[in-house]
Structure 1
Amino acid sequence: MANVESAGFWSYTHRDDQLDGGRIVRLSERIASAFEIITGEPLEIFLDEKSIEWGDTLRMRLDSALTGTTFLIPVVTPKFLKSQECRREVIKFAGHAASLGLEELLLPIHYANVPQLAQGTDGEPADEVVELIARRKWVDWRELRLEDEDSPAYRQAVHKLALRLAEIIETAPPAMPVEVAPSGQNDEDTPGFIEVMAQAEEALPAWLDTVQQFAEFISTITEATTWATAEMEASDSRGGGFAGRMRVTEELSSRLAEPVRNVDALGSKYWAELAAIDPGIIGFIRHAAENDLSVEDTQVTQDFFKEIKQLVRVSSTTISQLQEFSDSVGVAARTSSQLRPTFRTIQAAVQKVIDGQAVVDEWSRMIDEVDLEGGDKLTLT
């Protein structure tokens, strides 16, 4: 077994590690040591997702299809799921791994209890990153993290996790990138160059419309909450007290019911469509970078890439507004138990669009590294 290029990217929040006395970082070191004892080969662990080296090395491995020797190991906690950077890394890696048929190389460690991961949504709005993690064979560390690090139970668990990493590398099939036939090739078993992108091309206008609808949704919600604030102030001035505030809250809940249902469905549809086609688009871009294209295919690819760029531009201008809005909704949710389920649904829908930006940003990054001039042989650097 030749594992000299094996690497693990340890995705965690620094605050979690601080709160747990450095145990999360030490766990990565113990796993790497156990892996080397088991295999005789090193497993390099990249720790700091905020460093240039962490990000550049991960991008290099993904772009060069080295995912077959690269693990992403998210250390999942409630705080991890609140970190946009951690969420982005899971989403990006999942898409690349799926595009190569190597989804098992995303290996989550369930470190501190996340109820949705362990018990399902139970009426709570779905979290798509939790769902991505739940589909993998995550490792349960919730009780083990309380064990003494030198205890037999802890050492045995570290050994088992390192052994699992070694077995995945040993038994994983070769990377199977998306196969794309030239547009003139009549092979019934192989999708044509243009056909592979037909679904995405059709969906792009709808994705753009969805992002723009979210901007309109913010305006609608803001108007409703502004009305509610003014009504509460007026009620207070009349001595309406708690009963008056409850009346306004009930009216606000009624006004928000339909738009919130609509935006929840819209967010779910947007994320589901992006996630479903993400591996195919990554494979398409990789194919464009590694193959000689005909003049016709080059033009089709250029046009498609321009549409992707438009989606990125439109969504980028909306994301910061959506994030601020989500934060303000979170504050409002703490003020009223009656409105809390509504506000949580709003936050979950907004989060789907924010997470979707990680997908389209990764497409954009890969596109920027492809040279389509004149249909020459393309390279990703």
Structure 2
Amino acid sequence: MTNEQPVGFWSYTHRDNDLDRGRIVRLSGQIASSFEIITGEPLEIFLDKNSLDWGEAWRMRLDSALTSTTFLIPIVTPKFLMSQECRREVITFAGHAASLGLDELLLPIHYVNVPQLTQRAEECPADEVVELIAKRQWVDWRDLRLEDEDSPAYRKAVHKLAQWLAKILDATPPATPVAIPPTNQDNEEPPGFLEIMTEMEAALPAWFETVQQFAETISRIGEESTWASDEIATSDKRGGGFTGRMHVTEELASRLTEPVEKVDTLGAKYWAELAAIDPGVIGIIRQASEGNLSTEDRKVTRAFFKEVKGLADTTAVTTSQLQIFSDSMAGAAQGSRRLRPQFKIIQAAVQKVIDSQTIISEWSRMINDVDLGDDDQQ
């Protein structure tokens, strides 16, 4: 056991806790008590993400580089995956943990059944947060949550979970910063800081272009949907009835096939590229904050940081617009069985871009705390 007090961040939705009559919050206290009995050390668990204590502790733990004494414990339910704030916490923590080789510090509890987590249903588009959770050794609490809290089965399960946390504390190796892998695998010499920064700076325009293509394709989908609405209105005036509406719906489904496929591909590509280098970029920013860079490295880093902040500001606007569009799709998806699968794909693709914004925004937040000075004025 380390000398630093263990800290856990309990990630859940308040609505889930209310619906389960406070059991989710009580579970955190039961685990903390059992952990202290087993180890003799207190386990502080932050619960209310809206409080100053949560926010300050969250930023402090992330910015000072996670250690093997910091956990994120997501209470996974369908509502959890619908919560953008909960998704943001998982994505942000996973990136920081991965940047230090500490993936095991993300400890999901599968509280209410999420089908995507236990089986790959073809009708359910891939969810990147589900995939992040599925890669970890999550705890199955789906049946246990129905047990009486004072029952032997429930108490034993809490004890077992506390033991598991204690074991992870003892077994987790020291943090090992992860570097961005070189794109040129034929080069035997690993890239230096300057080469990596130059490569990342060159990649930013390509990522921005992907988002622009995504927005343009979404706009096309919107135009096709508007066309369909106008056609349905015209058909209704002619007395076309449901037969006329069905004809327009079938035509719309056909016209959406190509843009829906494209938006699915672009969303997956954008998320995959950013998620793959997220740990390395976090490591670069952390390295830059330590102030050990040469003048040349600082110059390249400063240019890269400026590009990242510009990208974050620009994509934030696009992402906000995409969120509005996705919300409108939620209602439309219920109107036609023929269109429902396409609208689900659109929503899943938009969610990937929204979740990707979490990664870029975290880079921008970290960069704001780094002072690289101005070599031109020296």
Alignment TM-score, normalising by the size of structure 2: 0.95
Q: Which moved more, 1:63-72 or 1:165-174?
A: 63-72
Q: CA RMSD in A?
A: 1.7
Query: Between the two proteins, what is the percent identity of the paired residues?
Result: 69
Return the letter of the residue paired with 2:206.
A
Query: Is 1:24 the counterpart of 2:33 in the alignment?
Result: no
**Which residue in the other structure is 2:184 paired with?**
none
Query: Is 1:193 the counterpart of 2:190 in the alignment?
Result: no
Return the letter of the residue paired with 1:303.
A
Query: Is 1:323 the counterpart of 2:315 in the alignment?
Result: no
**Which residue in the other structure is 2:300 paired with?**
300
- Taking the aligned partners of 1:198 and 1:105, their CA distance within structure 2 comes to 31
**Which residue in the other structure is 2:151 paired with?**
151
**Which residue in the other structure is 2:109 paired with?**
109
Secondary structure at 2:68's aligned position in 1?
helix
Encode CA deviations 1:199-240: one digit per residue, 9 max, x unaligned: 433321111112222222232111111110111111111111
**Which residue in the other structure is 1:164 paired with?**
164
- Taking the aligned partners of 1:168 and 1:189, their CA distance within structure 2 comes to 35
- Taking the aligned partners of 1:4 and 1:101, their CA distance within structure 2 comes to 19
Displacement of 1:68 after TM fit?
1.9
**Which residue in the other structure is 2:139 paired with?**
139
**Which residue in the other structure is 1:184 paired with?**
none
Structure 1 gap ranges (5+): 181-186, 376-381
Query: Is 1:235 the counterpart of 2:218 in the alignment?
Result: no
- Taking the aligned partners of 1:90 and 1:289, their CA distance within structure 2 comes to 24
- Is contact 2:323-2:354 (8 Å) kept? yes
**Which residue in the other structure is 1:91 paired with?**
91
- Is contact 2:207-2:270 (8 Å) kept? yes
Q: In the superposition, relative to structure 1, how do residues 121 and 131 fare at CA in structure 2: closer, same or farther (>3 Å)?
A: farther
Return the letter of the residue paired with 1:95.
G
- Taking the aligned partners of 2:221 and 2:283, their CA distance within structure 1 comes to 39
- Taking the aligned partners of 2:21 and 2:221, their CA distance within structure 1 comes to 42
Displacement of 1:56 after TM fit?
1.8
Secondary structure at 2:72's aligned position in 1?
strand
Q: Report matched runs for 1:224-303 at 5 Å.
A: 224-303=224-303
Encode CA deviations 1:38-83: one digit per residue, 9 max, x unaligned: 1100100000112222122111111111332100000000000000
- Is contact 1:90-1:129 (8 Å) kept? yes
Q: In the superposition, relative to structure 1, how do residues 156 and 198 fare at CA in structure 2: closer, same or farther (>3 Å)?
A: farther
**Which residue in the other structure is 2:60 paired with?**
60
Q: Which moved more, 1:209-218 or 1:74-83?
A: 209-218
Q: Report matched runs for 1:36-75 at 5 Å.
A: 36-75=36-75
Encode CA deviations 1:273-295: one digit per residue, 9 max, x unaligned: 00000000000000011132111
Displacement of 1:195 after TM fit?
2.7
Secondary structure at 1:117's aligned position in 2?
helix
Alignment TM-score, normalising by the size of structure 1: 0.94
Return the letter of the residue paired with 1:328.
S
Secondary structure at 1:72's aligned position in 2?
strand
Structure 2 gap ranges (5+): 181-186
Encode CA deviations 1:8-52: one digit per residue, 9 max, x unaligned: 000000000000000000000000001101110010000011222
Displacement of 1:189 after TM fit?
6.5
Return the letter of the residue paired with 1:318.
T
- Is contact 1:92-1:358 (8 Å) kept? yes
Return the letter of the residue paired with 1:94.
A
Q: Which moved more, 1:306-315 or 1:170-179?
A: 170-179
Q: In the superposition, relative to structure 1, how do residues 74 and 3 fare at CA in structure 2: closer, same or farther (>3 Å)?
A: farther
- Taking the aligned partners of 1:121 and 1:284, their CA distance within structure 2 comes to 38
- Is contact 2:13-2:79 (8 Å) kept? yes
- Taking the aligned partners of 1:119 and 1:3, their CA distance within structure 2 comes to 40
Q: In the superposition, relative to structure 1, how do residues 3 and 43 fare at CA in structure 2: closer, same or farther (>3 Å)?
A: farther
Displacement of 1:197 after TM fit?
3.2
Displacement of 1:118 after TM fit?
1.1
- Is contact 2:32-2:162 (8 Å) kept? yes
- Taking the aligned partners of 2:6 and 2:177, their CA distance within structure 1 comes to 19
- Is contact 2:98-2:178 (8 Å) kept? no
Secondary structure at 1:9's aligned position in 2?
strand
- Taking the aligned partners of 1:27 and 1:121, their CA distance within structure 2 comes to 30
- Taking the aligned partners of 1:14 and 1:278, their CA distance within structure 2 comes to 29
Encode CA deviations 1:229-282: one digit per residue, 9 max, x unaligned: 111111111111111111000000011100010010000000000000000000
Encode CA deviations 1:310-329: one digit per residue, 9 max, x unaligned: 11011011121111100000
- Is contact 2:66-2:97 (8 Å) kept? no
Encode CA deviations 1:309-348: one digit per residue, 9 max, x unaligned: 1110110111211111000001100111110000000000
- Taking the aligned partners of 1:133 and 1:202, their CA distance within structure 2 comes to 31
- Is contact 1:178-1:284 (8 Å) kept? no
